[in-house]
Amino acid sequence: MKNQVKITLMLFVLFLSLPVLAVAAEYKVIRVVDGDTIVIDYNGKPEKVRLLCVNTPESVHPDKKQNVPMGKGASRYAKKRLSGKYVDLEFEGNRTRGKYRRLLSYVFVDGENLNLELVRQGLSPYYTKYGLSENYDRDFREAERFARHHRLNIWGSTESAAKYFRLKSKWGQKQSEAKRGAPSYQPIAKSDAVQYAASRKSNSFHRASCGYVMRIKPENLIYFGSRQEAINSGYIPCSVCHP
């Protein structure tokens, strides 16, 4: 009996000392379509994957007016990260496909969440048209805050950001709002000219540094160059930051 116990303990110690083998990524990348869409070998057949919560500038849009150099930059970034690689997919809830039958997923390459990378690199805002991320909402917010602070790509200037949102003018909007001439989406740029911000769904405006600004969805965010401009637009001062 004692010998059996000794053998069992020895085997257990031996098991613990064995190296832990990394699990290989499962799906081979066949092609990168653009910054937010790829084709993978999914269970033996090619499948398009649309990355969740990102919307990079266009590079292969049928309407060539939509294609911009920054879209090609996003595509190059994705190709650099994914070409010849294997990736893992993480779905959200029971929804695995969109209306175009593409897989909707977070894509992990070399153990890193590529969706978050694209936002952190300023190659996409945190895209919330179809709802907030259930799994990574806080991470996406922090990634976008980082890109804005460092003025990366889309957030490099007010002009580049305005161009992105103009080309994506239906992003987060209902068609009826677009026809009524809803306020254009404007990001907060870190400059002396941009000091105040507000949500188009609220009646208050804030200092750009106010914590409430970070809670405003990108599609609802507007900004003002002066306090008076915000007041003239019908907004009242925030009771917290007292702009």
Contacts of 26 (CB under 8 A, 6+ apart): 86, 87, 88, 89
Q: Is 141 among the catalytic positions? A: no
Other CB atoms within 10 Å distance of the CB of residue 5: 9
Contacts of 121 (CB under 8 A, 6+ apart): 77, 147, 152, 153
Residue of 47, 81, 102, 219 marked catalytic:
102
What is the set of domains in the chain, with CATH numbers? 27-154 (2.40.50.90), 171-237 (3.40.10)
What tens-digit pLDDT sequence spans the chain (243 residues)? 555 555 555 555 554 444 433 345 699 999 999 999 999 999 899 999 999 999 998 766 666 666 677 778 888 999 999 999 999 999 998 878 888 899 999 999 999 999 999 998 899 999 888 888 998 998 998 888 888 888 888 888 777 777 777 776 644 433 333 333 333 333 433 333 457 888 878 889 988 777 787 778 766 777 776 788 788 778 899 998 888
Give the DSSP letter of residue 60.
S
Answer yes or no: pTM beyond 0.75.
no
Residue of 58, 117, 144, 219 marked catalytic:
58
CA 135/CA 65 separation, integer angstroms? 34
Q: Is 102 among the catalytic positions? A: yes
Q: Is 50 among the catalytic positions? A: yes
Return the H-helix or E-strand segment holding 13.
helix 2-17
